[in-house]
Homo-oligomer: A and B are copies of this chain.
Amino acid sequence: MATAATVARNCRKVMCIGRNYADHIKELNNARPKQPFFFLKPPSSILLPNSGPIVRPKGVIMHYEVELGLVIGKTVRDLDPADEQGALDAIDGYLLAIDMTARNVQDEAKKKGLPWSIAKGFDTFMPISNLIRKSRIPNPQNAHLWLSVNDQMKQSDNTDLMLFRIPRQLSDISRVMTLDAGDIILTGTPKGVGPVGTGDIMRAGLKVNGRDIEEARIEVE
């Protein structure tokens, strides 16, 4: 069983799907995409379980986005979007992850037509759980994600609400970038994103059919 440290070490790219839950698109006043789009986070942004707090950079309004992460198990190119089995076969395991975002930096970048890499890429901006064995999530489109801040529930939705399902995501990404074993995909966040600051405690979890599969507790510095 791979530890989170092994997952981090083997990861050479992280691709994150944007705007993949309808209610989250509305809450940020964004346009609904006609096709999946994605951006990169650097492997250096990964924060391992129990390895310290998320560090808020000075002047940054930092938002949480809880997401289901896929750890890729083999090389994938030009996957057919209808190939559900091919998509499942490409997945080695799952992660509970938070796509931390410097929202004010991102808003500024959007306005100016600049890249998102800085807004998404600070150190500690990608807390991940331990690797979740594949067998524990029989259907990745039926997993419940939740996130609370100081024991107030903020995000709580099922992955069946994704606009673009996982085979389509892997297809669109793999037509641009070859996926390699160890790569990580974050599949988008449900509604309820918001700011966290110094001293806040986030808890996040993943359930399947009402059963707790993974939980994490992360402090903000």
The residues of A with any CB-CB pair to B shorter than 8 Å are 11-13, 15, 18, 31, 37-40, 42-45, 57, 77, 109-118, 121-123, 175-180
Contacts and interface: CB of A to CB of B under 8 A. Distances in A.
Nearest to A33: B114
A39 B115 contact: yes
A12 B45 CA distance: 12
Given A121-B176, A122-B177, A177-B121, A114 B37 contact: yes
Contacts of A118: 37-38, 176
B12 A121 contact: no
Those 10 A-B pairs whose CB atoms lie nearest each other, nearest first: A110-B113, A39-B115, A115-B116, A13-B42, A40-B40, A39-B117, A40-B117, A44-B178, A44-B177, A12-B43
B38 A40 contact: no
Contacts of A114: 18, 37, 110
A131 to B, nearest CB: 19
A175 B121 CA distance: 11
Contacts of A178: 44, 123
29 contacts: A12-B12, A13-B42, A15-B42, A15-B117, A18-B115, A37-B114, A37-B118, A38-B115, A38-B118, A39-B115, A39-B117, A40-B40, A40-B121, A42-B177, A44-B178, A45-B177, A57-B175, A109-B113, A110-B113, A110-B114, A115-B115, A115-B116, A115-B117, A121-B176, A121-B177, A122-B176, A122-B177, A123-B176, A123-B178
